[in-house]
């Protein structure tokens, strides 16, 4: 038996999407070519762009396909910081590494504020308001946290940022399958998405740039994407991205129902089995596809290995190059380093069943009991 509960890390490519990619593989033309084959490629590509734009209530011109969400986040942050003379930029202490580390890299060229979070993993609007100044050019917010599923108070964030001159950058990578995403209601200037979190292949991301927004480009060498990203367009993967977005949109409601049941099942089973644990953050402010649990009786490094040996594939923190676990900065920001070293993320997809959750709880129970019997707890 093997159970993959790491869908927030990546998802398998959907069979229908894969089939459609193969069916359309003959539309190989370079969209920049003048000839008919190129024009066919261009039309194919623009169809994907139009569909993706509609799904997030944007104009096609506002969509740039990228190689990844990491690239898209880099484009925004580096593009804004280099456009202005030492701007002030604001983000949170619980961002994905692609935002967090890019902000850190910008510290030489910009004044950077990292907003703290409370135990639920949410920022305080007062903090944001206090941090915003005339010099603030960018606010980057992870809408749904990739480690805890915590949803930030986007409406209040929108209001606060709209009262300033700053641009709002929303990392919606984990949000899209769970919540309706509208660039209009989010009031954002930038929004980033990733294909492989939506059952499209790895290697495709999306960046929404609101019309008339100025930023420098980081990739040069061609006039593609209205000179916002040089490089031959990845037509086939953009197609996959567009299909994945449609799928996610259509199945969101049904998906939510299943994921909610899974999350509740795992929690209740662990309670029934009397495995000591606590939920990181509050489920009231979280999506259903992630639950991050604190197991005070062991370390995530041990538990991830023990679960892997039992056929359960979860995550906790990130892996260093030597394969050891680096504790999550998100759990650290919410609680403590010790708690971060003892926390595991389970993330779900509707392929999973409630029996799978029972199996996981039983395995955790047996691991817990064995450690107790051996005198390690």
Partner 1 sequence: MTNKDTTVVVGMSGGVDSSVTAKLLLDQGYNVVGIFMKNWDDTDEFGVCTATEDYEDVRLVAEEIGIPYYSVNFEKEYHDRVFQYFLDEYKKGRTPNPDVMCNKEIKFKAFLDHAMKLGADYVATGHYARVTHDGENVEMLRGVDNNKDQTYFLNQLTKEQLSRVLFPLGHLEKPEVRELAHKYDLATKDKKDSTGICFIGERDFKTFLSTYLPANPGRMINMETGEDKGAHDGLMYYTIGQRQGLGIGGDGGPYFVAGKNLETNELYVVQGDNHEALLSTSLLASEVNFINPMPETFECTAKFRYRQKDVPVTVKVTGDDQLEISYDSASAVTPGQAVVLYDGDRVIGGATIDTVLRNNEVLEYLA
Enumerate binding residues for partner 1 (CB under 8 A).
Answer: 301-302, 305-306, 308-309, 320-325, 370-371, 374, 376
- Taking each continuous run of H as one helix and of E as one strand, the counts in the chain are 13, 14
Looking at beta carbons only, is 173 or 306 nearer to partner 1? 306
Tokens 């490094």 map to which residue?
301
Looking at beta carbons only, is 34 or 320 nearer to partner 1? 320
Please state, in angstroms and rounded to a whole number, the distance separating the CA atoms of residues 148 and 92. Answer: 14
CB atoms within 10 A of CB 276: 12
Tokens 């194919």 map to which residue?
44
> Using an 8 Å Cβ cutoff, are 89 and 137 in contact?
yes
Helical axes 235-272 vs 354-373, angle rounded to 10°: 50
Please state, in angstroms and rounded to a whole number, the distance separating the CA atoms of residues 37 and 8. Answer: 38
Shortest separation between residue 67's beta carbon and partner 1, angstroms: 24
Residues 6+ apart with CB under 8 A from 293: 270, 277, 278, 279, 280, 343, 344, 346
Nearest by Cα to 190 from 254, 99, 298: 99
Q: 148: buried, middle or exposed (CB in 10 Å: 19+, 13-18, 0-12)? A: buried
> Using an 8 Å Cβ cutoff, are 218 and 228 in contact?
no
Sign of the CA dihedral 243, 149, 297, 340? positive
Looking at beta carbons only, is 28 or 376 nearer to partner 1? 376
Residues 6+ apart with CB under 8 A from 281: 119, 120, 121, 148, 149, 150, 292, 334
Shortest separation between residue 339's beta carbon and partner 1, angstroms: 16
Please state, in angstroms and rounded to a whole number, the distance separating the CA atoms of residues 190 and 228. Answer: 13
Shortest separation between residue 317's beta carbon and partner 1, angstroms: 11
Looking at beta carbons only, is 109 or 297 nearer to partner 1? 297
Shortest separation between residue 331's beta carbon and partner 1, angstroms: 17
Shortest separation between residue 375's beta carbon and partner 1, angstroms: 10
Catalytic residue check, 188: no
Looking at beta carbons only, is 230 or 371 nearer to partner 1? 371
> Using an 8 Å Cβ cutoff, are 310 and 370 in contact?
no
Looking at beta carbons only, is 226 or 370 nearer to partner 1? 370
CA distances from 347 to 170, 253, 262, 293, 315 (A): 21, 17, 10, 11, 9
Q: 214: buried, middle or exposed (CB in 10 Å: 19+, 13-18, 0-12)? A: exposed
Catalytic-role residue among 1, 34, 284, 320: 320
Shortest separation between residue 301's beta carbon and partner 1, angstroms: 6
Looking at beta carbons only, is 43 or 309 nearer to partner 1? 309
Please state, in angstroms and rounded to a whole number, the distance separating the CA atoms of residues 89 and 133. Answer: 10
Looking at beta carbons only, is 11 or 315 nearer to partner 1? 315
Shortest separation between residue 377's beta carbon and partner 1, angstroms: 10
Shortest separation between residue 56's beta carbon and partner 1, angstroms: 39
Catalytic residue positions, numbered: 320
């Amino acid at each position: 038996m093997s159970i993959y509960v790491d869908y927030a890390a990546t998802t398998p490519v959907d069979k229908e999407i894969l089939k459609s990619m193969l069916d359309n593989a003959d539309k190989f033309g370079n969209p920049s070519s003048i000839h008919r084959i190129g024009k066919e490629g261009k039309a194919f590509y623009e169809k994907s762009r139009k569909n993706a734009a509609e799904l997030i209530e944007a104009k096609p011109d506002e969509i740039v396909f990228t190689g990844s969400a990491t690239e898209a986040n880099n484009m925004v942050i580096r593009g804004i910081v280099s456009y202005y003379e030492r701007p002030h930029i604001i983000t949170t202490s619980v961002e994905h590494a692609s935002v967090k580390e890019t902000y850190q890299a910008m510290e030489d060229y910009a004044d950077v504020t990292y907003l703290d979070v409370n135990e639920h993993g949410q920022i305080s609007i007062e903090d944001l308001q206090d941090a915003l100044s005339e010099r603030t050019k960018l606010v980057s917010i992870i809408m749904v946290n990739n480690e805890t599923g915590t949803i930030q108070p986007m409406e209040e964030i929108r209001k606060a940022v709209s009262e300033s001159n700053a641009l709002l950058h929303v990392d919606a990578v984990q949000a899209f399958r769970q919540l309706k995403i509208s660039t209009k209601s989010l009031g954002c200037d930038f929004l980033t998405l990733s294909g492989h979190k939506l059952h499209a292949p790895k290697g495709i991301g999306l960046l929404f740039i609101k019309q008339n927004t100025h930023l420098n480009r980081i990739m040069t060498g061609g006039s593609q994407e209205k000179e916002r990203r040089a490089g031959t367009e990845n037509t086939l993967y953009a197609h996959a991205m567009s299909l994945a977005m449609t799928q996610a949109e259509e199945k969101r409601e049904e998906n939510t129902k299943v994921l909610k049941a899974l999350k509740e099942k795992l929690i209740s089973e662990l309670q029934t089995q009397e495995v000591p644990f606590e939920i990181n953050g509050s489920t009231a402010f979280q999506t259903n596809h992630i639950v991050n649990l604190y197991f005070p009786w062991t370390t995530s490094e041990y538990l991830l290995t023990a679960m892997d040996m039992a056929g359960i594939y979860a995550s906790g923190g990130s892996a260093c190059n030597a394969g050891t676990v680096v504790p999550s900065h998100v759990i650290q920001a919410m609680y403590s380093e010790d708690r971060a070293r003892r926390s595991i993320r389970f993330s779900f997809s509707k392929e999973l069943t409630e029996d799978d959750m029972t199996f996981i709880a039983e395995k955790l129970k047996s691991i817990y009991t064995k450690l107790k019997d051996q005198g390690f707890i």
